[in-house]
Structure 1
Amino acid sequence: MILTIDVGNTRIKAAVFEESTVLENFVFEKNELEEKIKKILKKFSNCSDLVVASVGKIEKESFLAFEKELNVHFFTHEDVFPFVNKYATPKTLGIDRMILASGATLQFPKQNRLVIDAGTCITYDFIDENDNYLGGAISPGLRLRYEALHNYTAKLPLLTFETPEHYIGNSTKQAIHSGVVNGFVYEIDGFIDEYRANFSNFIIILTGGDAVFLAKRLKNTIFANSNFLLESLNQTFQYKNRQ
């Protein structure tokens, strides 16, 4: 069994795998890390490996504390991946984005793939049908857009996510919801249209915390999987061990 952990900017996601089968998923706060890992390992005592991808601020020592119980692995830029990284600044490419690109490459061979991860930030990662990682885009996620309107204006309130009643907001609150949520959806559809116009044999993978919400609203056909990063982490670890 393998315990995979994705340390994001906001929360931590984890999953236990038996080969390619997910046995259980977990979501928790960063200050709960060690306590939650202990509980997971108590429940799944046959776990042999702990595999970590981190973009958040968690010290490695928090994971290395479990070295006596299982093998601890951290993915880095030096690892072997199933794609050619053609990013102009490859060392600055986030490990989470590399893992997503790896999962897309392994799970959807010989296709042009666009991976959209809608979390704290929304990232777009494109891997062509020849397994070249070409790049993508980064923009603020839903929560950051709400916070920016509040933090950088004098009077706009800080709102939490709410589906807008209409695209024409008839109050300040409804105008904010319309601008943030509809703008978010229009942005993603616009990017997808641009890629689709330039590439055939094309698949879109949508993941992240807002994937379920977006899947119902995007006009483009997509493959939605909110746990795609954890699955990609497991697949990439197995790929690495085969090399």
Structure 2
Amino acid sequence: MNAEYLLIDVGNGRTKLALASPEALLDRRDCPTPGLDPGAVRAILNGWDFRRAVLCSVVPAAAAVFRGVLGEKMTELRHDTPMGIGVRYPCPESIGADRLANAAALAHLHGAPGVVIDFGTAVTFDILSADLHYIGGVIAPGLRLMTDYLHERTALLPKVELHEPECAIGRSTVQAILAGAAIGYRGMIQGILDALRKELPQGPVHLVATGGDAGWITAGMAEPIIVDPDLTLHGLRLVGNLAAV
């Protein structure tokens, strides 16, 4: 398949890749991030042709691997990369590139002011001001990180597959963990959103969620939150469009 862009979103656990035109995502692949090397990159890109690549990464070693394979064809998203929004933050170089991609996509596709909630290894909240500036956010442990830690740090609590609990009163250890995970995590998400609203101007705020657990966690919340599973990739696509101008 031939496309204008290769989009690369390197997370701690998995790397998502997509071919894209300036207007849309065309095809997707993914692979584990740990152990990523030049051979693995070439294998997953086999059969894909593209003119340019745009990458955001939270794993410097993996970014270096892609840089070595793709060379000058690749743009690596940074705080000073044109992305259609400004950055008003004390140490902009410390902002995760995926968070900037999310903020850019929020501005272009959903509106401002707004908050992006990204459910990954960590859950991040990123805030876009009404005048289209990234102004900061919140970082908290991801849901699976919390439940895995509970299993790893106790003698008897099992590792669980996360899903919606049947009830709040668990009648087994697994049910109790699921109830604590889902209900407790939603409470944390809502509590953070409530605190953020107090520091944002009065009026509507666009709320958009992305990441692996976004769908089922937000579905159980009273507050309406748009779920956009491809938000980060769309942000990279928009960055590619701006680089082409």
202, 216, 224: which one aligns with 1:221: 224
Q: Which structure 2 residues correspond to residues 174-189 of structure 1 after superposition, within 5 A?
A: 174-189=175-190
Distance 2:86 2:225 in 1: 24
Distance 2:86 2:213 in 1: 29
Say whether the 8 Å CA contact 2:125–2:137 is kept in structure 1: yes
Distance 1:127 1:5, change over 3 A: same
Per the TM alignment, residue 208 of structure 1 is displaced from its structure 2 partner at its CA by 0.7
Equivalent residue number for residue 98 of structure 1: 100
Equivalent residue number for residue 134 of structure 2: 133
Q: Which structure 2 residues correspond to residues 81-160 of structure 1 after superposition, within 5 A?
A: 81-109=83-111, 111-160=112-161
Cα offsets for 1:59-110 (capped at 9, x unmatched): 4442234347x7122122332343332223322211111111122122234x
Say whether the 8 Å CA contact 1:66–1:72 is kept in structure 2: no
Equivalent residue number for residue 233 of structure 2: 230
Equivalent residue number for residue 29 of structure 1: 32
Per the TM alignment, residue 238 of structure 1 is displaced from its structure 2 partner at its CA by 1.4
Distance 1:18 1:35, change over 3 A: farther
TM-score (norm 2): 0.86
- Identify which range, 162-171 or 92-101, moves more after superposition: 162-171
Partner amino acid, structure 1, of 2:227: A
Say whether the 8 Å CA contact 1:10–1:56 is kept in structure 2: no
Q: Does 1:205 align with 2:211?
A: no
Q: SS of the counterpart of 1:53?
A: strand
Q: Does 1:191 align with 2:195?
A: no
Per the TM alignment, residue 152 of structure 1 is displaced from its structure 2 partner at its CA by 3.0
Name the % identity. 28
Q: SS of the counterpart of 2:238?
A: helix
Say whether the 8 Å CA contact 1:163–1:177 is kept in structure 2: yes
Distance 1:140 1:162, change over 3 A: same
Say whether the 8 Å CA contact 1:189–1:219 is kept in structure 2: no
Per the TM alignment, residue 158 of structure 1 is displaced from its structure 2 partner at its CA by 2.5
Distance 1:182 1:54 in 2: 31
Partner amino acid, structure 2, of 1:147: D
Q: SS of the counterpart of 2:69?
A: coil
Per the TM alignment, residue 205 of structure 1 is displaced from its structure 2 partner at its CA by 0.8
Q: SS of the counterpart of 1:190?
A: helix
Say whether the 8 Å CA contact 2:164–2:216 is kept in structure 1: no
TM-score (norm 1): 0.87
Q: Could you list the runs of 5+ residues in structure 2 that have no partner in the other structure?
A: none
Distance 1:226 1:140 in 2: 19
Distance 1:41 1:91, change over 3 A: closer
Q: SS of the counterpart of 1:206?
A: strand
Per the TM alignment, residue 120 of structure 1 is displaced from its structure 2 partner at its CA by 1.0
Per the TM alignment, residue 123 of structure 1 is displaced from its structure 2 partner at its CA by 0.4
- How big is the alpha-carbon RMSD for the aligned residues of Structure 1 and Structure 2? 2.3
Cα offsets for 1:22-42 (capped at 9, x unmatched): 111222112466556545654
Q: SS of the counterpart of 1:212?
A: helix
Per the TM alignment, residue 166 of structure 1 is displaced from its structure 2 partner at its CA by 0.9
Distance 1:61 1:121, change over 3 A: closer
